[in-house]
Structure 1
């Protein structure tokens, strides 16, 4: 397996771009089907993926490589969501779009050839925030059923007060404090929105009943501490969770050709496979 942005994009069995007609409006999605799965077989598990980019940047193309390796590694369909970006679409528009896209996948499972009982959400950075928030909204609405959340260096606390967010700003490839404020100002409609748990999931008072999670953090990432704190709070609420910090790594490292990016992608896809099929790692894997 290669790092998500190293060299040519990893081949998958099929990539389809389409428009999903959702309760939040029409959304562009890109659907990846993995190699190594016979056509016409039983429905596949599915991962709804949200790209990073500070809610302002990023699209289906920027995270195409990561979506491909997740699909092949997890042996699942990946539905990557092109949610509306700020500042034209401020909070809560991206949140509502993310939840609507996830509901659309579950509601159209037969057409998509996926198993809605094996549905996970995933995302990196701002996309990790949306994955966590969609899990919160699905719990509140009691639909759709989300069985797992993969949070890759997620952005979870807009107060911007913890150690890593303040001490690593402008260092190790992290954006500056001014840039942090710039992205927040573009995303939030009101200053007080930063205290809303649908913006800052770390501030959600009750995390019980949320899906099991893998939280990936990086030693020199400004978002490190909030991801790890969220993992601790999930564990305290009785949610099965693994938090793994990758020493020496930086923000967005999964999209770089680092050795530890390959390790982290392997860990992420193993966690997804274990949710989709607890005996998966006893089965032969794809070439």
Structure 2
């Protein structure tokens, strides 16, 4: 960072300030100026040869969907076996603005959640925009959720104990999936874990102005991601399965854990969504993670707050399983 530090700088803890400086040195152009292909190359993540969280078993899966075959990974907590019975599972949907993101990019966080919660974690590679605009990604999530419940017995999973979660764009897809299942009268996930979810397309809450130039995700880049997701051929209004805040009611959705980052353009939207869930009778636990910015949740071993947030997710899942 230069000497003219932004007003939010003192809200970041030491880990976040260090990473923000690295991002500023590495990301010479905004993502919207790089474009999808260059941004994917620059921001792509390759897991280390030795992951921070060792698991005895990670299955690489291919599953059928209306769009063709989808790739996924299933992370089994150690100790899983036929003798222990079927496990609950979390369907995890990665972030990346609907444009970026890979299975590799969330490998460490999926491992950590599985190890700490005792739940299996099913990580999906859904189609990305702009090549595949809305509703392609949501269709993939819908098909994968249905497939997982159908195939649960053979995977060592309890089909009646499947939750859904994700970060950023993945948080959008997780809650949109819940809305779609509710609208169709189909079985809901047992819980939704929403980490700084992108839920509103109005860009009107104060955090959009306060953190317009936040590290990693600026307000302008977030708007660009949204435009890629809708696609150039989109006409008419935006529906609630694209922007969940537009739903007339959130009644009937599963209990939710909502985590936000203190320095994030999306913060106020996500917190307003949590409050709407609460007003509509949905059980909600909402936590603002101090000292960090958008994207921290998947950076295992980088931010101390990441460890705390994963611990909260694990506790939430254990509580769901014990209820």
Using structure 1 for the length normalisation, give the TM-score.
0.90
- After superposition, the C-alpha distances for 1:56-113 in whole angstroms (9 at most, x for unaligned) are 1011001111111111112111110000001110001101111111111111111111
Say yes or no: does 1:141 pair with 2:141: no
In structure 2, the partner of 1:266 is: 311
In structure 2, the partner of 1:129 is: 172
Between the aligned partners of 2:226 and 2:262, the Cα distance in structure 1 is 23
Say yes or no: does 1:182 pair with 2:224: yes
| Cα deviation, residue 253, structure 1 | 1.3
Shifted more, 20-29 versus 95-104: the winner is 20-29
Between the aligned partners of 1:226 and 1:170, the Cα distance in structure 2 is 17
SS in 1 for 2:176: helix
User: Cα distance 1:274–1:201, how it changes in 2: closer, same or farther (>3 A)?
Assistant: same
What pairs with 1:203-214 in structure 2 (closer than 5 Å)?
203-214=246-257
In structure 2, the partner of 1:33 is: 76
| Cα deviation, residue 181, structure 1 | 3.0
Runs (5+) with no aligned partner, structure 2: 1-46
Tell me if structure 2 keeps the 8 A contact 1:172–1:250.
yes
| Cα deviation, residue 238, structure 1 | 0.4
What pairs with 1:108-127 in structure 2 (closer than 5 Å)?
108-127=151-170
275, 282, 291: which one aligns with 1:232: 275
Tell me if structure 2 keeps the 8 A contact 1:13–1:32.
no
User: Cα distance 1:248–1:81, how it changes in 2: closer, same or farther (>3 A)?
Assistant: same
The structure with the largest helix share of the pair is 2
Between the aligned partners of 2:188 and 2:154, the Cα distance in structure 1 is 18
User: Cα distance 1:24–1:226, how it changes in 2: closer, same or farther (>3 A)?
Assistant: same
Runs (4+) of structure 1 exceeding 4 A deviation are 190-194
Runs (5+) with no aligned partner, structure 1: 279-287
Question: Which structure has the bigger radius of gyration?
Answer: 2
In structure 1, the partner of 2:127 is: 84
In structure 2, the partner of 1:59 is: 102
SS in 2 for 1:16: strand
Between the aligned partners of 1:25 and 1:14, the Cα distance in structure 2 is 26
| Cα deviation, residue 242, structure 1 | 0.7
Using structure 2 for the length normalisation, give the TM-score.
0.80
- After superposition, the C-alpha distances for 1:165-212 in whole angstroms (9 at most, x for unaligned) are 2321222443241x2232122111355567311111011111001000
In structure 2, the partner of 1:105 is: 148
Shifted more, 162-171 versus 190-199: the winner is 190-199
| Cα deviation, residue 13, structure 1 | 2.4
- How many residues align? The count is 273
| Cα deviation, residue 162, structure 1 | 1.4
In structure 2, the partner of 1:46 is: 89
141, 160, 170: which one aligns with 2:203: 160
SS in 2 for 1:195: coil
